[in-house]
Amino acid sequence: MRKSLFTILPVLLLTACGREQIETYQVPKETPAAAPVPQMTAPEVRAAAPAGKGFSADVPATWTEKPGSGMRLVSYSIEGTSIDFYLISLSMGDVASNVNRWRGQIGLAPASAEQIAADIRVFQADGRAVSYAELYNPETGQGIVAAIVDLAPQYWYFTAKGTADELRANAADIRTFLESLKIP
């Protein structure tokens, strides 16, 4: 009885799975499982009407515009993501303090002035200076892509919040959108 126990060991050790091989088989024709052209390949953009929100821009086809509410002048949802992208207008526009505010929102420590200067990219959209930053916290996986448009005395804040992965995948679209801003 006792010795028979020790035969269990090799039996269990020999339990091996069948190895997978290349297989060839025939199946009936399938109908496409979804729309053949993915939205993401569509470089097409539609120009948004300047519907009372004070600007127009090239909006990617995967974005859906939602009316503003509260302080938000306008919001966009981006298909297939949980990104929250919106515009608010404020009367102050200090870039450094805002970058540190955004850093705080995603759990990053405040950065030095040099660090902030390195993080910020400034470009022109319709003759206005746009200060643009992409901030990601690798530890929490959260991020912010934000831009301040200088319309002194007003400043427009475009802010996209979401997971770092989703933001990275969509940052190029957001940047393109910002570059295409037309502010009458």
From CA 181, how far away is CA 55, in angstroms rounded? 7
Radius of gyration of the chain (CA): 26
Please identify which residue in 53, 72, 128, 168 interacts with another protein, judged by CB under 8 A. Answer: 168
Greatest CA separation for the chain: 92
* 179 membership: H or E segment, kind and range: helix 164-179
Q: Which residues contact 3 (CB under 8 A, 6 or more apart)?
A: none
Binding mask 27-66 for another protein (x = CB under 8 A): xxxx-xxxxxxxxxx-x-----------------------
- Applying the rule CB under 8 A, the residues between 1 and 30 that interact with another protein are 1-3, 5-6, 8-9, 12-13, 15, 17, 19-30
From CA 108, how far away is CA 142, in angstroms rounded? 10
- Nearest of 184, 46, 161 to residue 103 by alpha carbon: 161
CB 85 within 8 A of CB 159: yes
Please identify which residue in 96, 106, 111, 169 interacts with another protein, judged by CB under 8 A. Answer: 169
Q: How far is residue 18 from each of residues 14, 42, 111, measured CA to CA in Å?
A: 12, 44, 55
Which region, judged by CB under 8 A, interacts with another protein, from 47-55, 91-99, 113-121, 168-176? Answer: 168-176
**In terms of CB distance, is 9 or 49 closer to another protein?**
9
**In terms of CB distance, is 98 or 170 closer to another protein?**
170
Q: Does 141 bind another protein (CB under 8 A)?
A: yes
Binding mask 78-117 for another protein (x = CB under 8 A): -xx-------------------------------------
Which chain residues interact with another protein by CB under 8 A? 1-3, 5-6, 8-9, 12-13, 15, 17, 19-30, 32-41, 43, 79-80, 141, 165-166, 168-170, 172-173, 175-176
